[in-house]
Amino acid sequence: MPMSDRAARLAYSRAYYQANKDRMLAEQKERERLREVALPGARAQYLQMYRATNQAQLLEEQRVRSRENYASNKPAFRARQRRQRIARYGLTPEQLAAILDRQEHQCPICQRFLTEANVPSIDHCHVTNSVRGVLCRRCNSALGMLEESPGNIERALEYLSIPRLQAFHSWLSGATSTTSKTP
């Protein structure tokens, strides 16, 4: 049925597709199945080639979709991240709440309150993966930077001791005066 009016052709095509949608989709699946039988692996090979050729565009599209999905579901993403972080160490939310209650919702090292703004980190032994407690992110990072080594921590405490600081300050004041002294 030739139609000169583009809008009429479009309306006819849409109506025809809606009326015959199931049959047309079944025929399309059958054609794809026959094509796969005739040329096994052709579709997979085509998709592999397409992905290799359009990798940058596909990655950018995925990034955009991910950003949009995250922006529209931020609370759900954060809740899932919290659950995953807790589960990583074999804890339940109730066990984490009990640890926080036992610590009075404070970091045992710096005594800061652990809140949503001051995100708590689950401190654990990297050898046994057993949970030691909940720290603020800063204290947990400090322990990590000291490699969780009691020797490194003791040396850091010794370095920060008052007599050493006083000696350093006296040396510094002597080094900056006109009569320079060696320490």
Same domain, 155 and 139: no
Asked if 141 and 178 sit in the same domain, the reply is no
Same domain, 92 and 144: yes
Are both 114 and 142 inside the same structural domain?
yes
| Cα separation, 21 vs 3, whole angstroms | 22
pLDDT value of position 183: 47
Same domain, 144 and 156: no
DSSP symbol at 131? E
Identify whether 9 is part of a domain: no
Residues 93 and 144 both lie in one domain? yes
132 in the same domain as 161 = no
Q: How far is CA 36 from CA 24, 51, 86, in A?
A: 18, 19, 46
Q: What total of structural domains would you count in the chain? A: 2
Q: What is the pTM of this model?
A: 0.51
In a domain, 92, yes or no: yes
Q: What is the pLDDT of residue 175?
A: 64
In angstroms, the CA 100 to CA 56 distance is 45
CATH of the domain at 132: 3.40.1800.10
Residues 97 and 135 in one domain: yes
Containing 134, the helix (H) or strand (E) segment is: strand 131-136
Question: Which pLDDT does position 2 carry in this prediction?
Answer: 60
Residue 144 lies in a domain: yes
180 occurs within a structural domain: yes
Q: Tell whether 52 is covered by a domain.
A: no
Residue 162 lies in a domain: yes
Q: Which residues contact 61 (CB under 8 A, 6 or more apart)?
A: none
Q: For residue 141, what are the domain limits?
A: 88-148
Q: In the chain, which ranges are continuous DSSP H helix? A: 6-38, 42-53, 55-72, 74-88, 93-102, 137-145, 150-159, 162-176
The DSSP code for 40 is T
**Alpha-carbon distance 136 to 140, whole Å?**
6
| Contacts with 110 (C-beta within 8 Å, 6 or more apart), sequence order | 136, 138, 139
Q: What is the pLDDT along the chain (183 residues), one digit of tens a residue?
A: 566 788 889 999 999 999 999 999 999 999 888 888 888 888 888 889 999 999 999 999 999 999 999 999 999 998 898 889 889 888 998 998 999 999 999 999 999 998 877 778 999 888 888 899 999 999 999 988 988 888 988 888 887 776 766 776 777 777 655 554 444
Amino acid identity of residue 179, one-letter, is: T
In a domain, 163, yes or no: yes
- Together in a domain, 143 and 171: no
